[in-house]
Structure 1
Amino acid sequence: METARWIRHATMDDFDAIMAVYAYARKKMAETGNPRQWGDKYPLPERIQADIEGGHTLLLVDDAAALVDPPEDPDYPEPELDEHRGEHERIIGVFAIFHDEDPDYKVIDGEWLDDQPYTTIHRVASSGLGRHAAHDLLSWSMRHFENVRADTGMKNYAMQHILETHGFTKCGNIVMPQNKDIDQVRLAYQRHDVTDGTVCGPKDTARQLLSV
């Protein structure tokens, strides 16, 4: 039995599975010395629901649940957007993506690369069922969006490494004041690939793919 990875939009049918992925991610962050980036509750259920209903949540999935020994480090083609649901599907990773200006990014202790329209990546998490989930999600984003911003915790050294190895520039610090139970200061990153000197934000193909 062969399988592959692909990316699809989440639906409310995925809600419980997504909650479990974020619970696993919080546990792993705590175990690696980063217990306060997400605390023991973030992202809250209402935030997850709003992301799904707004068409922002994307899932990295495969169809390997029926395999006796699913591969942990598969050599698959780069995943692309495909909205089908696998018969033996597993969620490998999850993230939320936005194209509007992020209010938390308006003030920065530092400087963004530019003030042009951008796409934001939030709430990247792995289920632990396969390796390289963050790599696959970021690589997909880089293929489809030219100007991308993200943030991560001061002690999330793994995510900092992933962002930097994907060509993101550390731009400074931002403050996320909406939740007193988690660390509010985050490292801000941006990557802007200019292909023709004028285009930024979602590429035309990505605009079509992500219109839901």
Structure 2
Amino acid sequence: MSRYAMETARWIRHATMDDFEAIMPVYAYARKRMAETGNPRQWGDKYPLPERIREDIAGGHTMLLVDDAAGMDQIPEDPAYPEPELDEHKGSHERIIGVFALFHDPEPDYKVIDGSWLDDRPYTTIHRVAASGLGRHAAGDLLDWSMRRYENIRADTGLKNYAMQHILETHGFTRCGNIIMPENKEIENVRVAYQRHDRPLDLAERERAAKHLVAV
């Protein structure tokens, strides 16, 4: 592999507590971009709180999309690189391109939905997706990586987060309705819920999904 390819290739790894200080500015950048694009209430000024980030890392939930291009004099804006795969090594000139949290237990806030999930089978949840602004297509890479590993995925995003809604829908996620997050005066508590799975729906699931799509 050439030096160029090595430096621009991306990979996925679990975050450790050593990454905490590098993760904080990524979420700060994401909050700033949300506010600039008319979505200031999804995360407000503080979400996710430092204790939430530490808890995600400690539980092995936080995943990082990284490259090793920090030492390059000129970093290509949109290089061609292979699909990122899981690789737990830390680059010597590493940059965080994106971050998200991955959970395999049922999400308590998804029990009640104004709408209907595609099914009630076990699922993986994606939370707290953020890009650092250092590379393009971060959210898409994270979703693609997750979709290659898990057949049933749920996620939610803000009512005004049209960019993330577009990314989810172009990656085959179905808009299932709205959910209510715990009351927090600093952020909005209504979120748009999405689900995607790669197995065929049975008849009852197809009918439920069709009814919801008509209602939406």
How many Å separate the matches in 1 of 2:185 and 2:105? 25
Q: Residue 72 of structure 1 aligns with which residue?
A: 77
Matched, 1:153 2:175: no
Match of residue 36, structure 1, among 41, 51, 55 = 41
Flag the structure with higher helix content: 2
Match of residue 190, structure 1, among 182, 188, 195 = 195
Q: Residue 89 of structure 1 aligns with which residue?
A: 94
The percentage of aligned residue pairs carrying the same residue is: 80
1:42-191 alignment runs, 5 A limit: 42-191=47-196
Q: Deviations over 1:58-114 (max 9, x none)?
A: 000000000011122111000000000001000000000000000000000000000
How many Å separate the matches in 1 of 2:75 and 2:127? 28
TM-score, normalization by structure 1: 0.91
How many Å separate the matches in 1 of 2:16 and 2:185? 29
Query: Please, what is the CA RMSD of the aligned residues?
Result: 1.3
List, as ranges, runs of 4+ consecutive aligned residues in structure 1 with deviation greater than 6 Å.
Answer: none
User: C-alpha displacement at 1:178, in angstroms?
Assistant: 4.3
Q: Residue 13 of structure 2 aligns with which residue?
A: 8
The structure that has the greater radius of gyration is: 2
How many Å separate the matches in 2 of 1:158 and 1:46? 27
User: C-alpha displacement at 1:140, in angstroms?
Assistant: 0.3
1:7-26 alignment runs, 5 A limit: 7-26=12-31
How many Å separate the matches in 1 of 2:188 and 2:79? 35
Q: Deviations over 1:104-155 (max 9, x none)?
A: 0000000000000000000000000000000100000010000000000000
| 3-state SS, counterpart of residue 144 of structure 1 | coil
Question: Which residue type is aligned with residue 45 of structure 2?
Answer: D
Segment drifting more, 1-10 vs 104-113: 1-10
How many Å separate the matches in 2 of 1:178 and 1:5? 37
Structure 1 gaps, min length 5: 198-212
TM-score, normalization by structure 2: 0.89
